[in-house]
Amino acid sequence: MSYAYLFKYIIIGDTGVGKSCLLLQFTDKRFQPVHDLTIGVEFGARMITIDNKPIKLQIWDTVHTLPLSLPSYASCDALSRLVAGQESFRSITRSYYRGAAGALLVYDITRRETFNHLASWLEDARQHANANMTIMLVGNKCDLSHRRAVSYEEGEQFAKEHGLIFMEASAKTAQNVEEAFVKTAGAIYKKIQDGVFDVSMSLMESKSDMQSLVNPEVLVPRLLKVVVAAANFLICSMASVCVSHVRCCIFMLPSGK
């Protein structure tokens, strides 16, 4: 199906806040009640219409468990282990930000710590993403407002302070899910019309990132480079061990008298 624009979105936020569920609700209109920890990257896509133009949203459900810029809470034992487990994905994660036109920054209104970590997530986004990326702050799980730990006003205030759009939503009841994705697209579309966001550049970056992640023609040469570098390192290390061994033997040779 043809489209006028393709917007890359990323969904970021602490583990368990409902990122995958928001994506599933938006693309498949269903809810996943069991927490299925996202490992690696999952993609979703859906067409929407803005200003009578078909727009394709390509959504990357990221692997993040914690922000890349580790805050002090990472010193907690259990969390440190979690970080270590996900460390191998961190460099890949950085490339997720590149080319993103929009981001859903999600916290769980029933878990205060997920709200407290928002500043670190924003720091990551500001560091790795396009400065004009549109960020929608989503206070998820608003169906559980009887267990609320973060007030609506606090979310609204945080968004105001950091120039974000804000909504509370529920991936379970689908409340505001459609709106969160569509409103973000509307803001991106407006930036394009105003000439402050170049979606073609963003797409080129996004495409090359996708290629490097999934295309064997790009991936295999890169892997080969890594293997060659590792082999080089091994050979150099072995050579230096041999040299020091020979030196040692020469040093220990009888003087010849």
Ligand X SMILES: Nc1nc2c(ncn2[C@@H]2O[C@H](COP(=O)(O)OP(=O)(O)OP(=O)(O)O)[C@@H](O)[C@H]2O)c(=O)[nH]1
Which pairing describes strands 42-50 and 102-108: parallel, antiparallel, or unpaired? unpaired
Site for ligand X, residues 173 to 202, rule: CB under 6 A: none
Give the one entry of Mg ion, ligand X, none that residue 188 binds, where binding means its C-beta sits below a cut-off of 5 to 8 angstroms depending on kind: none
Nearest to ligand X by Cβ — which residue?
Answer: 18
Distance CA 178, CA 201 (A): 26
Minimum Å distance from CB 155 to ligand X? 14
Q: In terms of C-beta density within 10 A (0-12 exposed, 13-18 middle, 19 or more buried), how is residue 60 classed?
A: buried
Beta carbon of residue 21, minimum distance to ligand X (angstroms, whole number)? 4
Question: Which of 8, 18, 20, 64 touches Mg ion (CB under 5 A)?
Answer: 20
Q: Of Mg ion, ligand X, none, which one sits near residue 80, judging by CB under 5 to 8 A according to partner kind?
A: none
Identify the three-state secondary structure at position 50.
Answer: strand
Distance CA 1, CA 57 (A): 13
* Interface with ligand X, residue 21, by CB under 6 A: yes
Q: Which stretch binds ligand X (CB under 6 A): 30-38, 194-202, 214-222, 234-242?
A: 30-38
From residue 49, give the alpha-carbon distance in Å to each of 52, 54, 117, 136, 214. 6, 5, 33, 19, 28
Give, as ranges, the residues between 51 and 90 that touch ligand X (CB under 6 A). Answer: 65
Binding to ligand X in span 101-140, by CB under 6 A: 140
For residues 165 and 135, is the Cβ–Cβ distance under 8 A?
yes
Q: Which residue ranges make up the site for ligand X (CB under 6 A)?
A: 15-21, 32-38, 65, 140-141, 143-144, 170-172
- The footprint of Mg ion (CB under 5 A) covers 19-20, 38
